[in-house]
């Protein structure tokens, strides 16, 4: 049963470096997760659609005790497989949904040069089969989509704003603490001064009934 690490290994086996493959897998999963958390729907043509779905509050039964428990409303992630994926699973085909660009190892073999080790830059577009509604081949962007870039920028901006707000709150808390300490010190000094003044006045007051 392959997991995330094994999938990265299989991608690396196509000629990609293990680090690049692992980073790519992490990036795709992170983007899908961020989109779902933001209430967005993610559609991967031919593979399927991920979407957030609201689940209302309900009553359930504890399987061990049989007691009835209340389950709060929540949002869950759902996946609907695409036509290509369903057909592949049904037929047991082990092909690929789409051809990946040549990895660094394949690029070296193709060029015949032993010094070319950098990963080739992806082309602007790549060709894929659009399975929906029997359409013919179409051109799709291989680079990050505009929506993905916008969502990534929004995530970074939100994180920056959150950090700034936390820093502002920390400064306000520190200022409040300093103000309290100063007020306490001022009250302490005032109390000491009043006590000293009262003692001086009592000492200077003449004793009643004293003969001159």
DSSP string, 89-116: HHHT----SSPPPP-HHHHHHHHT-SS-
Q: Cβ–Cβ contacts within 10 Å for residue 9, how many?
A: 15
**Which range, 74-83, 123-132, 145-154, 196-205, has the best average confidence (pLDDT)?**
74-83
Amino acid 132: pLDDT: 36
pLDDT above 90: percentage of residues in the chain? 39
Distance (Å) of CA 178 to CA 11, 173, 174, 184: 57, 9, 6, 10
* pTM for the full predicted model: 0.45
pLDDT at 1: 84
Helical segments of the chain, H only: 4-12, 18-37, 83-91, 104-111, 146-204
Least confident of 28-42, 51-65, 148-162: 148-162
Give residue 99's pLDDT band: very low, low, confident or very high (50, 70, 90).
Answer: low
pLDDT in the model for residue 81: 95
Predicted confidence (pLDDT) at residue 123 exceeds the cutoff of 70:
no
Say which residues have a Cβ less than 8 Å from residue 17's Cβ, sequence separation at least 6: 103, 104, 119
Per domain, the residue ranges of the chain are 112-143, 145-198
What was the pLDDT predicted at 115?
33
Please state, in angstroms and rounded to a whole number, the distance separating the CA atoms of residues 46 and 39.
Answer: 22
DSSP letter (8 states) at residue 63: T
The model's confidence at residue 192, banded by pLDDT at 50, 70 and 90, is confident
CA nearest neighbour of 84 among 141, 130, 137 = 130
């Amino acid at each position: 049963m392959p997991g995330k690490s094994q999938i990265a290994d299989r991608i690396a086996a196509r000629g990609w470096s293990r680090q690049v493959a692992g980073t790519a897998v992490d990036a795709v999963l992170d983007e899908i997760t961020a989109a779902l958390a933001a209430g967005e729907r993610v559609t991967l043509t031919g593979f399927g659609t991920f979407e957030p779905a609201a689940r209302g509050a309900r009553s359930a039964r504890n399987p061990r005790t049989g007691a009835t428990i209340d389950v709060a409303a929540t949002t869950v992630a759902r996946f609907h497989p695409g036509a290509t994926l369903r057909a592949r699973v049904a037929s047991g085909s082990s092909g690929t949904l789409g051809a990946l660009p040549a990895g660094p190892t394949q690029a070296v073999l193709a060029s015949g040069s032993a010094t070319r080790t950098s990963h080739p830059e992806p082309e602007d577009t790549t060709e894929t089969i659009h399975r929906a509604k029997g359409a013919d081949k179409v051109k799709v962007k291989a680079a990050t989509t505009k929506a993905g870039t916008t969502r990534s920028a929004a995530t970074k901006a939100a994180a920056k704003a959150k950090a700034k707000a936390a820093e502002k709150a920390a400064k306000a808390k520190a200022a409040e603490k300093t103000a309290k300490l100063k007020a306490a010190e001022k009250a302490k000094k005032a109390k000491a001064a009043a006590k000293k003044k009262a003692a001086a006045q009592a000492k200077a007051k003449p004793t009643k009934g004293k003969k001159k």
